[in-house]
Amino acid sequence: MIYADNAATTKMSDLALDTMFSIMKEGWGNPSSLYSHGQKAKEILEKAREDVAGLIGATPREIVFTSGGSEADNQAIRSAAEAGRAKGKMHIVSSAFEHHAVLHTLEALKKEGFKITLLDVHENGIVDPSEVMEAIRDDTCLVTIMYANNEIGTVQPIREIGAICRARKVLFHTDAVQAIGHIPVNVVDDNIDLLSASAHKFHGPKGTGFLYAKKGVKLTNLIEGGAQERGKRAGTENVPGIAAMAAALKESISSMPENAAHMAIMRDRLIRGLKQIPHSALNGDETKRLPGNVNFCFEGIEGESLLLLLDDKGICASSGSACTSGSLDPSHVLLAIGRVHDVAHGSLRLSIGEDVTEAEIDSIIRAVGEVVEYLRGFSPIWRDLMAGKKKFIL
């Protein structure tokens, strides 16, 4: 099997697995208990908090552990919105291609009376900082722009956007789920007030993540109950998951330079190979993208058929086409970069891992080429395109 869907989830590293298992076996106490077995769990928890904080340039008190990226996004946006509402500031700036954890939270706030501006991400899939500057109004309480897009991998000018928000005294949140552990992220250098991360995107366990909230940024609870996480997130902490997340993050960041360099070479080889397929196009900026992300559109085919046939060949990938996402419309990300429906339906995301080999890249290129040709062989759209009844877009 060639696993090329690391943007959906990653395999846990051996270190993360060992850490998790040993804590489940030995350190399973409740960190809120006063006896030493509980306090041992508390120590593990606080050591993980120190580690995670240190790895992104934060302090331990600025880290709240959550159940993952979605919860962190919800809490960050809700917190900024509540603080804004209290001051009569009910305008939020975001982008059209955010993750649904962000977009759906914004939609819910819109129903509560908030005004939302979604910025264009242009053909290259990059938010223009000058447009952020223009969109900020006197009543803006939050700007939320993702660090790197989960579908097309484009990396945003976060530092510049953060600097603009800081100058205008507007809170800045970034969904850094795809970035953390893959490219350098530092909350101080990048001028970030709120940041979301998820362990299972960097070889940690699913169901664990964190929210960074800069000192002085007030958080609103999503989950009420006990006083865990300094009263900001009730519920007995997932100590094994949190410790495994810290171990996975440390590991990912320490091997980032070699891993990213290797992946970028493999990514570019894959891009070059897939470009040879006629009537295809890369989605998103060619260089300002995550080292592991390749996303293409192939005219005249359906992404879901492509995925099923690739699965037959042992390749795990993903598509932004309709059926796979369980809705009628193709990916909002592909539409946001200006792909028309027909073209967006024929999309393929390959998110490679750190250990991908040149031979695997070449077999992906071969397999995709064969499957695209095969599917076009009985595609009515392709027949019309070839007969000149329809115009090629790509």
Ligand X SMILES: *Cc1c(COP(=O)(O)O)cnc(C)c1O
Q: Nearest CA to 147 among 123, 109, 179?
A: 179
Min separation Cβ 185 and ligand X, Å? 13
Asked whether the beta carbons of 70 and 101 are under 8 A apart, the reply is: yes
CA quadruple 353, 296, 301, 368: dihedral positive or negative?
A: negative
Min separation Cβ 104 and ligand X, Å? 11
Min separation Cβ 51 and ligand X, Å? 19
Q: What does residue 235 show for φ and ψ, rounded to 5 degrees?
A: 115, 140
Q: Which CB sits closer to ligand X, 9 or 32? A: 9
Min separation Cβ 81 and ligand X, Å? 18
**Three-state DSSP state, 28:** coil
Min separation Cβ 66 and ligand X, Å? 8
Q: H-type helices in the chain, by residue range?
A: 14-26, 36-56, 69-86, 100-111, 129-135, 158-167, 239-254, 256-275, 303-312, 322-325, 332-336, 341-345, 358-377, 380-386
Q: Which CB sits closer to ligand X, 73 or 360? A: 73
**Three-state DSSP state, 149:** coil
Q: H-type helices in 189-231, by residue range?
A: none
Q: What does residue 76 show for φ and ψ, rounded to 5 degrees?
A: -60, -50
Min separation Cβ 278 and ligand X, Å? 31
CA-based R_g, the chain, Å: 22
Torsion of CA 229, 174, 148, 9, to 10 degrees: 20
Q: Which CB sits closer to ligand X, 99 or 289? A: 99
With a CB cutoff of 8 Å and minimum separation 6, the contacts of 106 are 77, 92, 94, 98, 114, 116, 118, 144
Q: Which CB sits closer to ligand X, 101 or 239? A: 101
Q: Which CB sits closer to ligand X, 101 or 315? A: 101
Binding site for ligand X (CB under 6 A): 68-70, 73, 99, 101, 146, 150, 175, 177-178, 198, 200-201, 209
Question: Does the annotation count 323 as an active-site position?
Answer: yes
Q: Which CB sits closer to ligand X, 177 or 256? A: 177
How far apart (Å, rounded) are the C-alpha atoms in residues 84 and 95? 19
Min separation Cβ 193 and ligand X, Å? 18
**Bridge partners, residue 3, by sequence:** 316
- Concatenated DSSP letters for 359-392? HHHHHHHHHHHHHHHHHHHT-HHHHHHHTTSS--
Q: Which CB sits closer to ligand X, 73 or 193? A: 73
How far apart (Å, rounded) are the C-alpha atoms in residues 130 and 342? 32
Q: Write a three-state SS string for 152-187.
A: CCEECCHHHHHHHHHHCCCEEEEECCCCCCCCCCCC
> Which positions are catalytic?
323
